[in-house]
Structure 1
Amino acid sequence: MTTDQAKSAATATIPLPRTLEQSGSSWLAALRRRGMSWQRPWLRGLLVAVALYLALRVGTLLVLDTYAEADPDHPTLRSLLTGWDAVWYGGIAEHGYDEAIPLGKDGEPELTNLAFFPLYPALVAAAKFLLPIHLTTALLLVAWACGLTAAAALYAVGAHLRDPRTGVLLAALWAVLPHGVIESMGYSEPLFTTLAAGALLAVLRRNWLTAGALCLLAGLTRPTAAALVLAVGLAALVQVCREPARWRAWCAMLLAPVGLLGYLAWVGVRLGRADGYFYVQSVVWNMSFDGGGYTRQSANAALLGKQPLEFAEVTLVLLIAVLLFVVALGERLPWPLLVYAGACLAIVLTGDGFYWAKARHLMPAFPLLLPVAYAMVRSRNRTVPYAVIGGMAVFCAFWSVHLNLTWDHSF
């Protein structure tokens, strides 16, 4: 018997895997397919979360559009969604940043776009350059795309912590926040929430390079990134102290503050003063930190009925946010999420100025919604999620009408 014949005879005695006999594919491919089937509930949940988020946001816009058409001034939905901060972002995307702080006829400094961070307008400029669309369309396109990615990222966080149902509810809750209409406007909150959720999920999974990179990008999006830098930096520091050889954690710790500090330094260089950005915020935009005195005074005025309805709503949101943070401590959420949420809350509560925008500034603090999602999952009453999400969706829709058609300040 030749060598080839011996090999053939030996091979013939080895039984073929059943999967190979039935489908003609290798057993390795069968295992891979089986692994994909394990992921199907997760993927189905992701699709449900994004679809539900989209449906809730479209519902809000339909209500707003209906009331806008009935308004005597007949504002268009596009004009409502691209006002206030969107005007500033659009100006940056089209013309770039101011060379210096503009001065009025009286010599006093006027508002400047140097207070707005660059990543969102950069994406808008890129979309306008690559696609034959108008600037306002680019503003909305980027914001809506970021809203969908934020829903996906929030779902991933919830699914990682508990299960796919928790992820779906977390994304839905974020869609129907009282100021949820911001998620459909030319604002940077959807982009920042995407990056923050992704960075914190990477921390929970110990994907340090991803966490550091996303935190860097978040630092180029909003000043609230200081809370994210604190959470990611501390988590990386703890990992480094436990295992000094983990070079990826070292990289995350170094990358996390680069975006935020880089933009602050750039503004300082442009204005020729080290505190350039803080000067813009405090002197030009009248925003600083006072330890919470302004917030307390504004809340007292709202409770005494001396302020508009928007102040009462913001006061209620702030109170609920504090209570949710206390509940989150009891839920024993992973400490990086608590650090991030607590820092976001502290930044908003201690900020001086623009009280009516504080509820919007809290929107990226998504870990505060996790206790609500957990409670709905634990409830044996199956109607609870529908009642909570539905009720919040109705309030969100009609509050967006008030914000856009009645309230005459930014929000």
Structure 2
Amino acid sequence: MTTTMTEPDASAAPASERGRAGSPWRRLLEQRFLPLVVAGYLACRFFSFVVISLVAGHQDPGGIPRGPEDGVQPGYLDMTRVWDGDWYRRIVEEGYPDVLPRDEQGELQQNQWAFYPLFPMLVRALMTVTGGSFGLVASSLALVLGTAAAAVMAVLLRDRVGPFVALCAVLVYAASPPSPTLQLAYTESLAMLLLTGFLLAVSREKWGVAIALALLTGLARPIAVPLGLVALVAVIWRWRDRADRPIGRGEYAAMLGALVACGVSGLMWATYAGWRTGIRSAYTDTMATWRAEGEIHPFTPWFKNAGYALGDTAGPLLVVVLAGLVVLGFAGPWAAGLGPVLRTWSLGYLLYLGAVLDPWTSTYRYLLFLFPLAVVAIGGGWARTDPRAREFRFTGLRTVVLVGLGLAWQVWWIWELLRIIPPADNPI
């Protein structure tokens, strides 16, 4: 029997896992897998809700754009619309400027073109239908999309490492320090849903679905370059299997379409911004206004910022060591169970972050998309035929420890980064 690159062969599971198939826990996990995933994810989001609500009581009202909704003291919904959330509110209410804003010296100013349109479009539509406020609608939408993304992520991981490891990995992801972003007026939840859906689609060779999701991602998040790399690897993997499973003309066309869709996805928003404003480089120029030097330089900000924080020698050296460790983490046999698609995504996304990101406090939430790291961190990434994949007790213990650490770190993240101390602060 032939399978796609992600469909597990039950006979390949470790003997200990097959032997537990009749246990009550195993039956519960298999029969109620998605409800358990959703319950665990929402439990983490409830924890974040409680902490954000408590921290809101210590938020200076002057740090809330347009002030608190009750006019007195900020509450939970006020905290969900700070930082980038306020930019999305502007897009919902004002749209995108036809003319790029500049100061008296002619310097380009930060503006809405840096933010992709799909999330605010959905928020505006729901606000029109429900009459709800921006904070309520945007945060509720993010919560729903984030929950759906966790479910798709769980299925994606279950295909590779089994239900127990998949559940544990989603819990570690859901408890991670920047995970409160998934219930704020941010695009992370939407982008995560599209990303996990795309990865699942190419893994199962559903090329038409992958095309649609790639194009939608181009309106939600600038991650088309690593997506294109993933699609290329998936196509090559399918081509290598052509002797056992011949490829028809229709599938060849669909695979080509997936590659083209990723390319279009990476260009569509920048092209539209250039057409709308009359300035071809409108998008990249706007993105550069968020950079310390006002320009985008691949890779160098990592070394400069590390040198600034830790010294000219220790800082860059630490960057090289950390990058090497992360690459090794995904390239070693302890990550073999992830399969080619997730390993390619992880390494490609890391390279992408290195090239385009000016690392600072926002780096935390960018790392959310590196969710396969949770599988490796709990020791669940071994190939299912490897005897080391049988250590369920250690996987569970690591999960408990990492979830606890993540929730504790969340408290710091919310207090130090989400909370705004006027007149300026470090953004999330």
Query: Cα offset for 1:248?
Result: 2.6
Instruction: Say which is worse superposed, 226-235 or 148-157, in terms of deviation.
Output: 226-235
TM-score between the two structures when normalised by the length of structure 2: 0.77
- Percent of pairs with identical residues: 25
Out of 343, 348, 361, the residue aligned to residue 338 of structure 1 is 343
Give 3-state SS (helix, strand or coil) of 1:355's partner: coil
* Of 324, 328, 333, the match for 2:330: 328
CA shift at 1:284, angstroms? 6.7
- Which whole-Å CA distance do the structure 2 matches of 1:284 and 1:350 have between them? 15
How many residue pairs end up in the alignment? Answer: 366
8 Å Cα contact 2:176-2:403 kept in structure 1: no
Output the CA distance in 1 between the equivalents of 2:109 and 2:49.
Answer: 33
Alignment partners' CA distance in 2, 1:226 and 1:354 = 19
Q: Is the 8 A contact 1:324 1:369 kept in 2?
A: no
Following TM superposition, by how much is the alpha carbon of 1:291 offset from its aligned partner in structure 2, in angstroms? 3.4
Shift in Å, 1:238: 5.2
Q: Secondary structure at the match of 1:356?
A: coil
**Once the 2 structures are TM-superposed, how far is the Cα of residue 285 of structure 1 from its aligned partner?**
5.5
Within 1, Cα distance between the matches of 2:131 and 2:42? 24
* Other-structure match for 2:56: 68
Alpha-carbon distance in structure 1 between the residues aligned to 2:187 and 2:145 = 9
* Equivalent position amino acid for 2:408 in 1: V
Give 2:52's aligned amino acid.
L
- Shift of residue 237, structure 1, vs aligned partner: 5.5
Q: Which residue is 2:36 aligned to?
A: 48
| Counterpart for residue 295 of structure 1 | 302
- Are 1:267 and 2:273 an aligned pair? yes
CA contact (8 A) 1:317 1:359 kept: no
Instruction: Provide the residue aligned with 1:141 in structure 2.
Output: 140
User: Which residue pairs with 1:219 in the alignment?
Assistant: 218
- d(CA) in 2 for partners of 1:54, 1:141: 13
CA contact (8 A) 2:203 2:234 kept: no
Check whether the contact 2:149–2:192 (CA below 8 A) recurs between aligned residues. Answer: yes
Establish whether residue 122 from structure 1 lines up as the match of residue 121 from structure 2: yes
Matched, 1:409 2:426: yes
Cα displacement string for residues 163-216 of structure 1 (whole angstroms, at most 9, x for unaligned residues): 111221222121122212211211111111111111111111111111221121
Deviation at 1:148, TM superposition (A): 0.5
Describe the shift of the 1:363–1:316 C-alpha distance in structure 2 as closer, same or farther (beyond 3 A): farther
Deviation at residue 254 of structure 1 after TM alignment: 2.7
Superposition deviation, residue 46 in structure 1: 0.9
Shift of 1:84: 0.8
Match of 2:369 in 1: 364
1:279 matches 2:267: no
Conserved in 1, the CA contact under 8 Å of 2:303 and 2:319?
no
- 1:45 deviates by 1.2
The answer to whether structure 1 residue 380 and structure 2 residue 393 are counterparts is yes
The structure whose Rg is larger is 1
Structure 2 vs 1, CA of residues 131 and 42 (structure 1 numbering), >3 Å: closer, same or farther? Answer: farther
* Aligned counterparts of 1:404 and 1:317: Cα–Cα separation in 2: 26
* Residue ranges of structure 2 left out of the alignment (5+ in a row): 1-25, 62-72, 382-388
Larger mean CA deviation between 188-197 and 100-109 belongs to: 100-109
Contact (CA 8 Å) 1:54, 1:148: kept in 2 or not? yes
Residue equivalent to 1:355: 360
Q: Distance in 2 between matches of 1:43 and 1:197?
A: 22
Task: Give the deviation of 1:158 after TM superposition.
Answer: 1.3
TM (norm. structure 1) is: 0.80
2:393 maps to amino acid? R
State whether residues 215 and 232 of structure 1, in contact with CA within 8 Å, keep that contact through their aligned partners in structure 2.
no
Structure 2 counterpart SS, 1:334:
helix
The AA in structure 2 aligned to 1:302 is A
Query: In structure 2, do the counterparts of structure 1 residues 101 and 406 end up closer, same or farther at CA, with 3 Å as the change threshold?
Result: closer
Mean CA deviation greater in 206-215 or 231-240 = 231-240
C-alpha separation between the residues in 2 aligned to 1:98 and 1:191? 24
- Report the CA distance between 1:352 and its aligned residue: 5.4
CA contact (8 A) 1:61 1:397 kept: no
Deviations 1:95-151 (A, max 9, x none): 211112112233322111111111111111111122121122121111111110111
* 1:54 Cα deviation from its structure 2 partner: 0.7
| Residues 211-220 or 316-325, more deviating | 316-325
CA distance in 2, matches of 1:220, 1:161: 29
Q: Are the structure 2 counterparts of residues 77 and 102 from structure 1 closer, same or farther at C-alpha, using a change threshold of 3 Å?
A: same
Greater Cα shift, 322-331 or 179-188: 322-331
| Aligned mates of 1:65, 1:175 — CA distance in 2 | 18
CA distance in 1, matches of 2:92, 2:59: 31
Change (3 A) 1:118 1:42: farther
Q: Structure 1 residues 186 and 134, CA, compared in 2 at 3 Å: closer, same or farther?
A: same
2:368 alignment partner, SS class: coil
Q: Distance in 1 between matches of 2:319 and 2:53?
A: 25
Deviations, residues 351-388 of structure 1 (Å, cap 9, x unaligned): 35352212222211222222124449734345432222
Instruction: State the match for 1:248 in structure 2.
Output: 254
Q: What CA RMSD, in Å, does the superposition of the two structures yield over aligned residues?
A: 3.0
1:21 matched residue in structure 2: none
- How far apart, in 2, do the equivalents of 1:356 and 1:70 lie? 21
Aligned mates of 2:132, 2:31 — CA distance in 1: 32
Q: 1:337 to 1:104 in 2, by over 3 A?
A: same
Paired with 2:273 and 2:184, the residues of 1 have a C-alpha distance of: 26
1:390 aligns with 2:404: yes
Q: CA deviation at 1:229?
A: 2.7
Which residues of structure 1 form unaligned runs of 5+? 1-37, 306-311
Question: Shift of the alpha carbon at 1:343?
Answer: 2.1
CA distance in 2 between counterparts of 1:78 and 1:357 reads: 21
